[in-house]
Amino acid sequence: MSILRITSLACIALMLGACQSLFQPDMRAPLEVRRDASEQIKPGCTVADCPLVNVDTVHFQSEPTLDSLVEKSLLKMTRTSPNAPLPVSLKVYEEQFLREAQSHNGSYLQAKVRDQHDGLVIVELSSYLDTGDEQGTPGRGFINYSRQQHRALTLQDMLLPGQEEAFWLTAQQAHKEWMINTRFTQDPAFVKTWPFQKTPNVALTSGGVILKYEVATIAPYANGHIELKMSYLQLNGILKPELFPRRG
């Protein structure tokens, strides 16, 4: 093959690569987010403490898959039993809840962008169901959305093959550090009652990998939603390297 032909092919390849980059979204630029907040009170209610539904969510016009995933994830958090059917939309849920709810009842749902980096959008989900009891039922969750793959990442997507045990051992060390920093290690009863547990709530933030716990999981209800943090350095050889935040 002549040098001229090789040079021509190389130029064509460079041009095609440039065109491909031109028409792909810039993953370094954050995804545009639109907030959508509303509060609805039971129609016709005239007494104090009317039932209400408060929804504070986000929309992603350029990522309809993520937009739909956020709504579906919030709807899953409204379940009061594992096999309960899901409403088809947040609007339908609001209408259904207000129709059936009693005074002092309230439902709060929130989705917010916690972080964006390297083509990842980290959405934090929150829920709180107030049934009039002394303690309501709060919930938390995360969506780790890959803009390149147009889907949410699972823990298995994040880890190198065969590294799940190592991941949770590292998390257990983070739990020990949290126990020491909060001085809970000085309370033998606390140590025995609230041991380390795994959680499905994992977030790939730019500052570290966050584990978030439901209330009354690794600490009493009054301590709220505990967060444990692991650095990317600790997860070297465990987490897929392409998920490490780029610097600069």
For residue 163, which of 213, 83, 92, 234 has the smallest C-alpha distance? 234
Please report the pLDDT score of residue 1 as a whole number. Answer: 53
Q: What is the pTM of this model?
A: 0.88
Residue 102 has pLDDT above 60, yes or no: yes
pLDDT single digits (tens) 54-99 = 999 999 999 999 999 999 999 999 998 888 899 999 999 999 999 9
**By CB neighbour count within 10 A (0-12 exposed, 13-18 middle, 19+ buried), where does 107 fall?**
buried
Question: CATH fold of 34-152, please?
Answer: Heat Shock Protein 90 (3.30.565)
Beta strand 106-117 with 120-130: parallel, antiparallel or unpaired?
antiparallel
pLDDT single digits (tens) 150-192 = 999 999 999 999 999 999 999 999 999 999 999 999 999 999 9
List, as own/partner pairs, every contact residues 211-217 make where C-beta atoms lie below 8 angstroms and the sequence separation is at least 24, other chains included. 211/171, 211/174, 212/140, 212/142, 213/140, 214/138, 214/139, 214/140, 215/138
Per domain, the residue ranges of the chain are 34-152, 155-243
Span 28-42, average pLDDT: 95
Cβ neighbour number for residue 13 with a 10 Å cutoff: 10
Q: Do domains 34-152 and 155-243 have the same CATH topology?
A: no
Please report the pLDDT score of residue 5 as a whole number. Answer: 60
Q: What is the dihedral of CA 216, 220, 226, 228, to 10 degrees?
A: -100
How would residue 14 be classed by pLDDT, with cut points 50, 70 and 90? low
Q: Is 49 strand, coil or helix?
A: coil
How would residue 18 be classed by pLDDT, with cut points 50, 70 and 90? very low
Instruction: Classify 155-243 by CATH class.
Output: alpha beta
Please report the pLDDT score of residue 28 as a whole number. Answer: 77
pLDDT single digits (tens) 108-120 = 999 999 999 999 9
Determine phi and psi for 118, rounding to 5 degrees: 50, 40
